[in-house]
Amino acid sequence: NPVRRLSTASSVTKPPYFIMTTEWLWYKKEKLGTWTEYGCQDDHALPVTSADLENVYLANKDDEMPIVIGEFSDFLSFKEMCQKNVLQGTTNEVRRRPRFITEEDVEKKIQGKSQSAQVEASACEPKNIPENWDKSALSDMGYQRVALSTFSKEYEEIQSLFQQTMPTGAIQKIDRNQNLGLWEIFQWQKERMKKRDNGKPVDERFLFCSTDPMFVDAICNQNFEWGSCAQVGTLYGNGRYFARDALDSKMDLYSDFTADTRFMFLARVLVGEFTQGRPGYHQPPRKDGRNTNLYDSCVDFPSDPTIFVIFEKCQIYPEYIIEYID
């Protein structure tokens, strides 16, 4: 039988005042055999921290994460536990290890908990939570679907976007997906893109994506995967397709369910700088001669795009679920 390490919940999934958690550290093996911790404060600091990697890893352990180091763009494969540079053809081992703590460290944490728990609990609440979220329906792990009131401004705005191109679609319900883990990853990616472009605001849009009812909860929990949303082919690249208009996202593929109930996501998408899509694209093309300077997404018509192709999950936040009858 394989040997497995037993551990408590990852520290990134709990507020800091939860003391019995495991802090996972991420390391990359360098050429000379030494191991460098991600995010260490030294001259060779890697641009992401262990906490950044841990959040993305827990969201999907089979995912790949882009890492930009100067003029080079690497990909960290969680499935293969390695960091790859396609241009140079190099691969570095990656390891995820728990921070070592002694019995004395544990005793100190227990003794200090009763004295500081209340103070830390108020001071360490998650940051950047959207104002419209229901704070009583937040989950440290996973997600919560919150039904919107039909009389709320939030509901009316989404209904208006939907009915601009689908006026006959009868909305039965609109839920807001509150997934703190995915939201923090999305915000991290947004900040990363902003820094890359010297502080220029990132082009962020609300876009539609139809899906099979059986995938709705999986998307809320883990974001979009291949096959979880209706695809219109690969005319503009092999990514995830999103539409500006609800009508373009509506697919007859999902019409054979009881009472013709259908589901469509209205997602926040960091489209960034986009360009014309092409069949066979597995990532956006280069902006210039450097392999590391890529566009953020591909579209159908760059002058007035209606279809966007996204290649990185961290550029997507599946925010609203629209249940309707057509």
Domain boundaries, the chain: 24-98, 144-325
Model pTM score: 0.67
> What pLDDT score was predicted for residue 80?
93
- For residues 12 and 68, what is the distance between their CA atoms, to the nearest angstrom? 23
Separation of alpha carbons 322 and 306, rounded Å:
20
Distance of CA 259 to the CA centre of its chain: 32
Domain formed by 144-325, architecture: Alpha-Beta Complex (3.90)
Whole-angstrom distance, CA of residue 272 vs CA of residue 80: 29
User: Nearest 5°: phi and psi at 96?
Assistant: -115, 115
In percent, the amount of the chain with pLDDT more than 70 equals 79
Q: What is the pLDDT of residue 230?
A: 52
Residue 59, helix vs strand vs coil:
helix
pLDDT digits (tens, 9 = 90+) for 185-224: 899 899 989 988 889 999 999 999 998 888 999 999 999 8
What confidence score (pLDDT) does residue 107 get?
73
Average pLDDT over residues 174-184: 93
Mean pLDDT of the chain: 83
DSSP states of 94-154 as a string? EEEEEPP--HHHHHHHHHHHHHHHHHHHHHTPPSS--TTS-GGG--SSS-EEEEPPTTSHH
The residues, any chain, with a CB within 8 Å of residue 316's CB and separated by 6 or more, are: 186, 223, 224, 240, 242, 267, 268, 269, 270, 310
164-174 mean pLDDT: 95
d(CA 207, CA 217): 19
Tokens of 195: 């820094």
Residue 29, strand partner residues = 35
Highest mean pLDDT among 78-87, 230-239, 305-314: 305-314
**pLDDT reading at 284 higher than 80:** yes
Which 3 state secondary structure label does DSSP give 219? helix
Query: Can you tell me the distance from the alpha carbon of 162 to that of 145, in angstroms, rounded to the nearest whole number?
Result: 19
Alpha-carbon distances of 55 from 105, 260, 320, rounded to whole Å:
25, 37, 22
Looking at residue 99, what is its pLDDT? 87
Does the structural domain 24-98 have CATH classification 3.40.309.10? Answer: no
Structure tokens at 102: 């002694």
